[in-house]
Amino acid sequence: PPVSAGLRWPRRRWPVPYRRFDYRPKTDPYCQARYTFCPTGSAIPVMKEEDVIEVYRLQAPVWEFKYGDLLGHLKIMHDAVGFKSSLTGKNYTMEWYELFQLGNCTFPHLRPGMNAPFWCNQGAACFYEGIDDAHWKANGTLVLVTTISGSMFNEMAQWVKYDNETGIYYETWTVQASPDKKSTVWFDSYECSKFILRTYQKLADLGAVFKKIQTNYTSIILFSGEPIYLGNETSIFGPQGNKTLAAAIRDFYNPFKPHHSVREFFVDLFKIIDRVILNHQFYLFYNLEYWFLPMKSPYLKVIYEEVPLPVGSKASFGV
């Protein structure tokens, strides 16, 4: 349910559950992507029930098409899933990513004349015919993980439609209490790898049996003490809002804007270090709500950890 303006309460349910919505809002013309989202996308086909479809795990460094393996060395990877029909021989790729690139999903724009930060943030599934073998194999992974029937594929397609229409906002950060694997997770990310993990789990629940292979995924983690709920856009930036808090949030986000010179970049970088590391401050926007994170060491970490392929609950199908 929508959060009432100005509502405050101590939340003890961690992680905060990702909020789903009844529909996907229209995008604002102000939000422009450097690279077109899903340029060759197509509808998911209906497969014949007796078809046997191979399912592939696809992974490559983020922006591999532009920078090659550069981000792969930092284990910053993008995930997708591939399908091959045995009846038609056709290949397909399915992935989930940002409509307006990662920066816009992670930080807002501070637009003149607008009190509240303006977010260009949506993520969505993209399905298209073909698998770019060179892209996934050159610096990443293209490996068979299971086989499914045509009817299972069709059921998965219906689930993808629901998932795509209700899970509309990209969430970059995982936020947790410490680097310890058993530490409390305050917020979970919602990005490309989580879509692939949800897809695998759906296939497992439909009866797919996955191969026993190691699968690793990238997470970008912020480390924080227990978050403090601040409010939503109306309660903070509206006519009856908290002007001091509103100014603090805008001031925090200002150094994350795009930079036009090297000098400007380093000036703002020092501001970010001062606020996040020296003053232990971070303002998080999650589920259309603002939270204060009391940051603590090691502040930020990119991890590439194993998440096992799922085990389903139905009768088995596949390898």
Predicted confidence (pLDDT) per residue in 180-229, tens digit: 989 999 999 999 999 999 999 999 999 999 999 999 999 999 999 999 99
Rounded to whole angstroms, the maximal C-alpha distance in the chain is 63
What's the confidence (pLDDT) of residue 66? 61
Residues in the chain where the model's pLDDT stays below 50: 1-9, 316, 318-319
What's the confidence (pLDDT) of residue 8? 47
Domain-wise residue ranges, the chain: 52-306
Q: What are the angstrom distances between the C-alpha of 64 and each of 59, 136, 138, 180, 222?
A: 10, 9, 9, 31, 25
Structure tokens at 13: 């349910």
pTM value is 0.90
CA 20, CA 288: separation in Å to the nearest integer?
A: 11
What's the confidence (pLDDT) of residue 158? 98
Query: Looking at the annotation, which residues are catalytic?
Result: 78, 192
Query: In this structure, are residues 295 and 280 in contact, taking their beta carbons and an 8 Å threshold?
Result: yes
pLDDT digits (tens, 9 = 90+) for 38-59: 999 999 999 999 999 999 999 9
